[in-house]
Chain A
């Protein structure tokens, strides 16, 4: 959790700076951050508002950017069977990249049997509060220091994502998924509304799955079964690594 928190601070600050420089009031900047609870939706929203985009475009873009969350939410679905509906609403609202990756790793290791939704909500809450406080800091800094958005505060989040990819690179099928998703996103960058991210995710996951099934059909059953459990542990490797480094 700690590395995610640390990288949320510069991203939140960047958001606060961007909001004001996009022409939004302080209340709108913070309000938008609080309502969407998503860095991507927030940054793209600021850019669209600054460019004078219509409300329908802004709303649809937010929805399309959220399709990624549809995937996260579906992955977590088997784990919330015993969680009441009113808790699921809060879980849904708090579901962001960082919380998803932390939660799914813990859940796969079976560490969270009782009260897992509380662990999940705690992580969401801490991330949310950190993000909003950082946004306020960004607004204060943004009105005091000019050109702050050119400092490269967006890189820590990218570095974290790259580190997750590299440390979790368990086998060639994961590498194939990464490369095909990367290639697709670069080739589809001209698609509107960042739709390329969604297309690339589907292509990458599809290629990884195709590789796994191609390999399974070509080898003895036992070997294939071993490999399936391998890829299932890709994410839990991250957790072990993170804990080693603390």
Chain B
């Protein structure tokens, strides 16, 4: 019963930040500075999610070593993305490099 309540509470807390701006602000014009800020938000969010996942994958401090497959895979994906610009191909290259280096490193 407590678990059911907890799950419902989490669901509500997850839902409200997504819904409230859609419900309330829909008829207002945005300030140009806000628009510019929001334009730069997607790359900033992605970077905030990706850096720890690559540089500290186990969540126990920095792992900037050649034996970190997340770092190898991440760098490979990034370099491939600068060269090719084909999204699906770039993602596939990154995943292959990750699992290959993971396998080679044991």
Contact = CB atoms under 8 A, between A and B. Distances in A.
Tell whether A and B belong to one assembly: yes
A81 B13 contact: no
Contact of A169 (B44, B48, B82): B82
A177 interface: yes
Nearest to B23: A88
Contact of B43 (A36, A49, A165): A165
A77 interface: yes
Contacts of A45: 10
A223 interface: no
B43 A168 contact: yes
Given A161-B50, A163-B91, A201 B44 contact: yes
B44 A200 contact: yes
Interface residues of A, number: 102
A70 interface: yes
Nearest to B86: A245
B102 A75 contact: no
A85 interface: yes
Contacts of B27: 81
16 contacts: A66-B18, A71-B38, A155-B73, A162-B78, A163-B87, A164-B46, A166-B80, A181-B51, A182-B47, A186-B52, A200-B44, A205-B41, A209-B33, A213-B36, A241-B87, A244-B86
Interface of B: 2-11, 13-23, 25-27, 30, 33, 36-56, 62, 69-70, 73-74, 77-82, 84-91, 94-95, 98-99, 102
